[in-house]
Amino acid sequence: MKKTIFTLYAAITVALMIWGYYQAIYVAPTDALQGEIFRIIFYHVPLFIGAFLFFAISLCGSIGFLAFRRTHPEWAQSADAWALAGAEVGVVFCSNALILGSMWGRRAWGIWWTWDARLTTTLILWLIYVSYLLMRRFAAGPQVQTLAAVLGIFGALDIPIVYMSNRWFRTQHPAPVFGGDPGSGMDKSMLVPFGWNVMAWLAWGILLLILRHHVERQNQKFAEDEAAESLNASN
């Protein structure tokens, strides 16, 4: 049953991705000022929305692990798997969004990268989560989950700084399109394709997230079984 639902969800996700691509490339009108290159926004922004969502999931996983590790070990293990999966998928989304943004910058600004506050802080965010993943790899032993959870919380503290920096600092990055100053916002003809793409990319990310969580749970179970076996063998 679970498998059927998952297959169905995967099929819907793929359909959404194709539909989103069609909407972004063929349906949305060309931007009056930027021309075709503006279509990157249909990927750049949804990917960042996804990255922020998955980092948030990673944070919830970290907090969940710390909260349940004494009372409900099974929940804590699952929460830890969510934390790891969220960080990994978030890093993938964030990397892609950074690369796409860089390509847009090459056309719009004439440079691949600029050390403006928003770009810099996003890069820092990316670095923090990469260091989180590195730490999970380096720090061996039973305490790695606890330490990773703490580091995950520290990493997440940086997210509000990233988000607010766009408004706090003078910046070269475009002002927020949504919820910014009066006059910001998107025309309806672009908003509909944008909405489809946000949905498609989030669905795709969640698909990856579920798969990764499943794999990590299996890993945990194997490790547990191995530990139990070696314990039995030594007795």
Partner 1 sequence: MTRALWTHLVKDLRIEWRSLDALISMLFFSGLVVVLFSIAFDPRGEVSQQIAGGVLCVATMFASVSALNQAWAREIRHQVMDAQRMVPSPAAELFLAKVIVNFLFVSIVQIILAPFFLIFYNLHIAGQGWLLLLVLPLGTWALVGNGVFFAALSMSSRNRELLLSLILFPIFIPALLAMVQATTAIFTGAFEPTLWIKLLLGYDIIFTTVSLLLFDVVFHAE
Q: Which positions touch partner 1 (CB under 8 A)?
A: 66, 120-121, 124, 127-128, 130-132, 134-135, 138-144, 146-147, 149-151, 153-155, 157-158, 161, 168
Token pair listed for 125:
């965010």
Nearer to partner 1 among residue 4 and residue 71 (C-beta): 71
Distances (CA, A) of 200 to 21, 49, 51, 76, 193: 9, 12, 14, 30, 10
Nearer to partner 1 among residue 13 and residue 62 (C-beta): 62
Nearer to partner 1 among residue 3 and residue 170 (C-beta): 170
Closest contact distance (angstroms) between CB of 143 and partner 1 is 4
3-state SS track over 129-175: HHHHHHHHHHCCCCCHHHHHHHHHHHHHHHHHHHHHHHHHCCCCCCC
Quickly count helices (H) and strands (E) in the chain. 6, 0
Nearest Cα residue to 216 out of 87, 63, 60, 50 = 87
Closest contact distance (angstroms) between CB of 91 and partner 1 is 13
Residue with structure tokens 């600029």? Answer: 114
Nearer to partner 1 among residue 41 and residue 128 (C-beta): 128
Closest contact distance (angstroms) between CB of 234 and partner 1 is 21
Token pair listed for 210:
């579920």
Closest contact distance (angstroms) between CB of 153 and partner 1 is 7
Burial (Cβ within 10 Å: 0-12, 13-18, ≥19) of residue 234: exposed
Closest contact distance (angstroms) between CB of 157 and partner 1 is 6
Closest contact distance (angstroms) between CB of 133 and partner 1 is 11
DSSP letter assigned to residue 29: P
Nearer to partner 1 among residue 74 and residue 188 (C-beta): 74
Nearer to partner 1 among residue 105 and residue 152 (C-beta): 152
